[in-house]
Amino acid sequence: MHGIIFFYIQKFADEATSGKTTWLKLRETVTATNSRYLPNEVYPDTDAIQLLQEIADTCGEPLPELIERFGEFLAPHLIKVAGQLIDPCWQTLDLIENTESIIHTMVRSANPGAEPPVLETVRHSPNELHLVYTSGRQLCLLAKGVTRGLARHYNETVMIEETSCMHKGDPFCCFIIQDESNETHSTKSPLSETIAFDPRSGDSLSPQITNWHSNPSDSSGTPETIDIFSIKSVIGSGGMGRVYRGYDRSLDRDIAIKVMHPSRAKDDVSRKRFLRESKTTASINHPSIVTIYQIGEHDNLPYIAMQYVDGPNLSEYRTQSGGVIPVSEAVRIGREISEGLAAAHQKNLVHRDIKPDNILLEGPQHHVQIIDFGLAHETGNEESRLTVNNAVIGTPAYMSPERIGTDEVDAKSDLFGLGVILYEMISGKLPFDGKSMVSILAAISRGKPTAIDTVVPGMPKDLAALVMQLLSNDRAERPADANSVVEQLRVIEKQGT
């Protein structure tokens, strides 16, 4: 275990035991050969557990309860230590969502042999996050305590439900964490997903570097300019950096500018992924795919200048429509998505994360704009599979079965995501649902959704058949390609749905 934990065990011991024992006596109870624990070294896990056990015995408290209490004590101290990597706009769920990348930067990069816990998250909404935790140490109680400590630091109230646990024989622990505060704090704004960017994937500016290109008197840290573009406001922050609404004076138009986080820019894998996203999107010229105007660097930070889309994403629009979109409009939206995918697939580019948040509806006609090709890769190009520790990246409800497993992901994975979107637009329900990330993935793997014409009686039979074909567990049973889906949807449109 990293020495920084031992450093804070010492501080915790001084507070918890209230003078009933000394750190020296506690340290003498362990079998370490070291005479002291240094914050920058690594020591046996058993030492940490034995120290905590001695504190628990001194306090007359069960060890599990004390470990969780230590986690609550530890949280604000870890925030201080990681301060340069934490966006001042974040709250509890935002920080948990980004913990894995912070650990990678602080621990793995400095000590490649270190084995910190693996934390995978999915943000279901601004106030709900699902967390998968796995570690040989099985310190899920510490993770729960840290979560509560983070919430206390941010003056929030969280509910934690553990749906699976390694101590019960499960391969990992899964937590559902809900922010139950009176006010929901989130880095997401209504416009935060109206450009090629998914803010739920985390990361943004740190306190140390909020003055990039900015007026020092501007406490928000918003730069006045990026390259030749003036900046109006922050749109959102997420997995690779921050996104601004800018203005291009030369062409008199608003644009969206995505700037890479400085700490991410130092990481070769992250930098490649950021540039690959922009080049991938820029290579496709189609009215249903967001347009990239310029790719460049400013103060050694890569940026993407792209089309600013005025309109909601499909998820927001469906909510505004009462949860269900009229069949005729759903077919039109599905056809425009298919046309954009066909253009991408023609260049052997697979989006891999087709979901409502990545579908923008522009203007009064709600014309489709597909965004966020950050997960896209060229078919057959192994170098483009830039994931961390083989992590599953994406939103579970819209993942194809092959994305969950080990099969090669191809264009038919995008067709599956389209099938989920069509099903949800027309019925108001997801074909594969569950209370946790694990249960959703299990439902997709089983591949037995309720027939959509059972949920929506009277809908066109050809449309119902197409939706269920798109959702086939066996991708060989899905339509041949996106062009085939376009043609089928055009026929259904002409039939006057």
CATH of the domain at 10: 3.90.1520.10
> What sign does the dihedral 39-45-51-52 (CA atoms) show?
positive
Describe the crossing of helices 411-427 and 327-346 by its angle, rounded to 10 degrees. Answer: 170
Confidence of residue 110 (pLDDT cuts 50, 70, 90): low
Share of the chain above pLDDT 70, in %: 80
Which residue has better confidence, 175 or 84? 175
Closest CA to 142 of 1, 271, 40: 1
pLDDT tens-digit map of 264-311 = 777 777 777 777 777 877 888 899 999 989 888 888 888 989 899 888
| Residue-level pLDDT at 17 | 82
Interval 411-434 mean pLDDT: 93
What's the CA gap between 85 and 465, in Å, rounded? 49
* Lowest-pLDDT choice from 77-86, 301-310, 417-426, 459-468: 77-86
User: What's phi and psi for 50, nearest 5 deg?
Assistant: -65, -40
What's the CA gap between 415 and 485, in Å, rounded? 9
User: What's phi and psi for 98, nearest 5 deg?
Assistant: -105, 5
Which residue has better confidence, 442 or 52? 52
Give the chain's domain count.
3
Interval 54-82 mean pLDDT: 90
Q: Mean pLDDT in the chain?
A: 79
Confidence of residue 221 (pLDDT cuts 50, 70, 90): low
322 and 268 co-located in one domain: no
User: What's phi and psi for 2, nearest 5 deg?
Assistant: -65, 145
What's the CA gap between 185 and 155, in Å, rounded? 11
pLDDT tens-digit map of 390-414 = 344 456 788 888 877 656 788 999 9
Assess if residue 12 is contained within a domain. yes
Confidence of residue 165 (pLDDT cuts 50, 70, 90): confident
* Lowest-pLDDT choice from 7-21, 22-36, 340-354, 362-376: 22-36
What's the CA gap between 46 and 137, in Å, rounded? 9
Question: What ranges make up the beta strands (E) of 280-426?
Answer: 292-298, 301-307, 349-350, 359-362, 367-370, 377-378
188, containing H or E segment: none
The SS3 call for residue 211 is coil
Q: Which one of 26-30, 138-142, 451-455 scores highest in mean pLDDT?
A: 451-455
CATH number assigned to the domain comprising residue 289:
3.30.200.20
| Residue-level pLDDT at 205 | 29
Assess if residue 321 is contained within a domain. yes
Assess if residue 186 is contained within a domain. no
Interval 337-356 mean pLDDT: 91
Interval 151-162 mean pLDDT: 90
Neighbouring C-beta atoms of residue 122, cutoff 10 Å: 20
339 and 246 co-located in one domain: no
Confidence of residue 457 (pLDDT cuts 50, 70, 90): very high
Catalytic choice (87, 198, 353, 453): 353
270 and 288 co-located in one domain: yes
pLDDT tens-digit map of 15-50 = 888 777 777 777 777 765 555 777 777 777 788 888
User: What angle is formed at CA 45 by the lines to CA 40 and CA 51, rounded to 5 degrees?
Assistant: 90
Neighbouring C-beta atoms of residue 208, cutoff 10 Å: 12
Interval 364-376 mean pLDDT: 82
Assess if residue 191 is contained within a domain. no
Q: How far is CA 170 from the centre of its chain?
A: 24
Q: Look up residue 388 and give its two tokens.
A: 């961390």
End-to-end CA distance of the chain: 62
pLDDT score of 365 more than 50? yes
Question: 39 Cβ partners below 8 Å, 6+ apart?
Answer: 3, 4, 6, 7
Active site residue 353: yes
DSSP states along 113-134? T--PPEEEEEEEETTEEEEEEE
Q: Which of 145, 179, 213 is the last residue of a domain?
A: 179
Question: 476 Cβ partners below 8 Å, 6+ apart?
Answer: none
Cα pseudo-dihedral 381, 384, 389, 390, rounded to 10: -50
Range 163-166 contact pairs with CB under 8 angstroms and sequence separation of 24 or more:
163/435, 163/436, 163/438, 163/439, 164/436, 164/438, 165/140, 166/134, 166/138, 166/140
User: What angle is formed at CA 41 by the lines to CA 38 and CA 42, rounded to 5 degrees?
Assistant: 120
Which residue has better confidence, 75 or 445? 75
| Residue-level pLDDT at 273 | 73
CATH number assigned to the domain comprising residue 405:
1.10.510.10
CA distances from 168 to 16, 162, 173, 217, 435 (A): 29, 11, 9, 54, 19
**Could you give the count of Cα atoms lying within 13 Å of 369 in the half-sphere of its Cβ?**
25
pLDDT score of 197 more than 50? no
169 and 60 co-located in one domain: yes
Range of the domain at 480: 314-494
Neighbouring C-beta atoms of residue 194, cutoff 10 Å: 27
pLDDT score of 319 more than 50? yes
Confidence of residue 333 (pLDDT cuts 50, 70, 90): very high
Using the structure block, give the residue that is written with the tokens 């896209």: 376
* Lowest-pLDDT choice from 161-170, 243-252, 355-364: 161-170
65 and 159 co-located in one domain: yes
Interval 459-484 mean pLDDT: 95
Confidence of residue 114 (pLDDT cuts 50, 70, 90): low
320 and 242 co-located in one domain: no
